[in-house]
Amino acid sequence: MSVPVVEVDQLVIDYGTRGGVFRAVDDVSFSLNPGERFGLVGESGSGKSTTILALMRMLRGGRVSSGRMRLNGRDLAEVSDAEYRSLRFAEISLVPQGAMSSLNPVLRIGEQMGDIFDDHGVRHTRGQRATIIRELLTQVGLPPEVRHRYPHELSGGMKQRVCIAMGIALRPSLILADEPTSALDVIVQKQVLATLGRVQQDLGAAVILIGHDMALMAHFVTRLGVMYKGKLVETGSVRDIFANPQHDYTRMLINSLPSFDRLKSFRSGAARPVRPAAFQEGV
């Protein structure tokens, strides 16, 4: 049996707020095997981002109160802050929520990508560096010339792809993607996720994908976890969860998807156009 890439065991995370301690993550456990794609869904505020920020040791104002996290068998509590800086990008990388706005507006794309290598002490000649950046951009479906541009010169989808390219630059074994497509239109969403899936397979990396869209998730991941008020209330294969959802919130998520049956009944007049007179009658 191979060692899981990540193991989260009874994780509890608290934020200190003016009103007292707020428990954002409450007894969450899950693990991923190498190359596995795991989806985390759940309503806004259910603790999804908090969970993966804890894995990155990037919580702001929050702390891990109890529980354990292991990355490739290593207890993350025993990793110093300095070592954590070298783990990020190299072993575990995050495409953060609102990633596009995390790009530095005054640096060209190529320079920002180069910084990742510099920060991790990876030395290249100028030519090698340019080649690697060109290859990374090509890998995420962008023209290599994008390296000369500033973020404002790119579309949202292009910026999101740049963030993915940065996330894979050091070939991590775990990629955390926090709603990497939520600001994009549906076509570009699919393309960006397909890109993420392709590079993830090339690397053999595991992925935790956070999202709200069950349909999109079902296409991308093999296993799903559903969070509700800080708890992981349900986990299972996409197939099992769709066939037999256990939790009310999971049922609601699935029922809110448009089905062909529902669309048919909509078109056949189950939802008729409102008669103008109905407005006057206050109906």
Ligand X SMILES: Nc1ncnc2c1ncn2[C@@H]1O[C@H](COP(=O)(O)OP(=O)(O)OP(=O)(O)O)[C@@H](O)[C@H]1O
Q: Between 49 and 139, name the residue whose CB sits nearer to Mg ion.
A: 49
Instruction: Tell me which of 9, 12, 22, 57 binds ligand X, using CB under 6 A.
Output: 22
Q: How many CB atoms within 10 Å of residue 217?
A: 21
The amino acid that residue 138 corresponds to is T
Stretch that binds Mg ion, among 6-14, 96-104, 199-207, 220-228 (CB under 5 A): 96-104
Site string for Mg ion, 164-183 (x = CB under 5 A): --------------------
Rounded distance between C-alpha atoms, residue 160 and residue 188, angstroms: 10
Site for ligand X (CB under 6 A): which residue of 11, 30, 49, 206? 49
Which of 153, 156, 147, 154 shows the shortest CA–CA distance to 112?
147
**Under the criterion CB under 6 A, does residue 45 sit at the interface with ligand X?**
yes
The DSSP bridge pattern shows strands 62-71 and 37-42 to be: unpaired
Binding segment for ligand X among 40-48, 77-85, 128-136, 193-201 (CB under 6 A)?
Answer: 40-48
Is 48 an interacting residue with respect to ligand X (CB under 6 A)?
Answer: yes
Q: Contact, 173 vs 72, CB < 8 A?
A: yes
Enumerate residues 97-126 that contact Mg ion by CB under 5 A: 97
- 256: contact with ligand X by CB under 6 A: no
Distance CA 80, CA 69 (A): 14
Residue 50 near Mg ion by CB under 5 A: no
Q: What is the distance between the alpha carbons of residues 3 and 209, in angstroms, rounded to a whole number? A: 21
d(CA 215, CA 174) in angstroms, rounded, equals 23
3-state secondary structure of 171: coil
- Name residues contacting Mg ion, limited to 217-276 (CB under 5 A): none
Q: Position of tokens 């999971």?
A: 250
Applying CB under 6 A, which of residues 41, 46, 69, 213 lies at the interface with ligand X?
46
Nearest distance in Å: CB 175, ligand X: 17
| 42 makes contact with ligand X (CB under 6 A) | yes
Give the CA distances from residue 165 to residues 71, 118, 140, 170, 182, in Å, rounded to whole numbers and listed in that order.
Answer: 22, 16, 6, 10, 18
The rounded distance, in Å, linking the Cα atoms of 279 and 283 is 6
For Mg ion, the binding residue among 25, 26, 28, 49 (CB under 5 A) is 49
Under the binding rule (CB under 6 A), the answer on residue 61 touching ligand X is yes
Of 6, 24, 94, 109, the one binding ligand X (CB under 6 A) is 24
Residue 176 to residue 99: CA distance in whole angstroms: 12
Tally of CB atoms within 10 A around 274: 9
Residues 88-117 that bind ligand X (CB under 6 A): 97
- Given Mg ion, ligand X, none, residue 181, with its beta carbon under 5 to 8 Å by kind, binds none
Please give the backbone phi and psi of residue 236, each rounded to the nearest 5 degrees, phi first.
Answer: 170, 180
The stretch near ligand X (CB under 6 A) out of 17-25, 120-128, 133-141, 166-174 is: 17-25
Nearer to ligand X, 192 or 199 (CB): 192
CB of 30 to Mg ion, least distance (A): 17
- Which residues are at the interface with ligand X (CB under 6 A)? 15, 17, 22, 24, 42, 44-50, 60-62, 97
- Which residues are at the interface with Mg ion (CB under 5 A)? 49, 97
